[in-house]
């Protein structure tokens, strides 16, 4: 089973706090609320360059002790990155040395994706390959195919977020999660899928994402609420 830094995802699912503003203060608050890991949204955090980014991440690690995931999200996958693709991948590459995992989209250009994954693995860090379906929930076979393509691309953890239009969609996602033979993170977004952020770990999702206050994804639940539920379930 996958690990992110010192956190063993084989023992229990990890609660990830998304850090997108006031990074050091937000990271401290996330730890206090019960987060296990931090996702640093480089596309939302404003850094003057790689040196400031690294210094900030070092401060976060020193003050929280929590493992960190670097993400520089593509606009097509719900992100806000406005620079060119070479610069996006370069910034993620710079983050490898000061984080424990990198999240790269399956939709990323294959050459860029393969280069970043190779660097991440060479550094002994965890690779998350993510996919986002903001309009609908694909059929079960297609969701399984997306996860399989993510693993083929080099994922240690394959992440899939979908938008359900019915409760059946959420059931389909949970079935895909249960059937997965490797480490996956699955999320059904929006109000219909809100409960999956608490329930999907019961079916094998190794990560669930929460917020400190304002959500950065549809249906995201606050960290302390996730922690309370998962303490009962696990």
Q: Residues with catalytic annotation?
A: 132, 159
Q: What token pair was written down for 206? A: 């190794």
Q: Helix or strand or coil: residue 74? A: coil
Q: How far apart are CA 212 and CA 216, in angstroms?
A: 10
Burial environment of residue 6 by CB neighbours within 10 A (0 to 12, 13 to 18, 19 or more):
exposed
Torsion of CA 68, 27, 8, 106, to 10 degrees: -40
Q: What is the largest CA-CA distance in the chain?
A: 47
């Amino acid at each position: 089973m996958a690990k992110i830094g010192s956190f063993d995802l084989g023992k229990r699912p990890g609660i990830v706090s998304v850090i997108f503003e006031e990074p050091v203060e937000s990271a401290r608050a996330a730890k206090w609320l019960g987060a296990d890991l931090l996702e640093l949204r480089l596309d939302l955090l404003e850094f003057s360059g790689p040196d400031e980014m690294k210094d900030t991440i070092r401060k976060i690690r020193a003050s929280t002790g929590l493992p960190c995931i670097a993400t520089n999200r593509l606009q097509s996958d719900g992100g806000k990155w406005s620079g060119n693709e070479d610069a996006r991948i370069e910034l993620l590459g710079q983050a490898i040395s000061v984080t424990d995992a990198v999240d790269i989209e399956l939709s990323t250009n294959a050459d860029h994706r393969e280069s970043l994954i190779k660097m991440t693995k060479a550094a002994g860090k965890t690779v998350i390959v993510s996919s986002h379906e903001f309009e609908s929930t694909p059929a079960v076979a297609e969701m399984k195919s997306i996860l399989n393509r993510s693993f083929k691309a080099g994922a240690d953890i394959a992440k899939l977020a979908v938008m359900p239009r019915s409760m059946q969609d959420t059931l389909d996602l949970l079935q895909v999660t249960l059937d997965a033979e490797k480490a996956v993170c699955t999320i059904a977004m929006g109000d219909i899928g809100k409960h999956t952020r608490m329930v999907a770990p019961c079916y094998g999702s190794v990560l669930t994402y929460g917020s400190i206050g304002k959500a950065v994804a549809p249906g995201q639940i606050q960290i302390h609420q996730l922690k309370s539920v998962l303490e009962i379930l696990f």
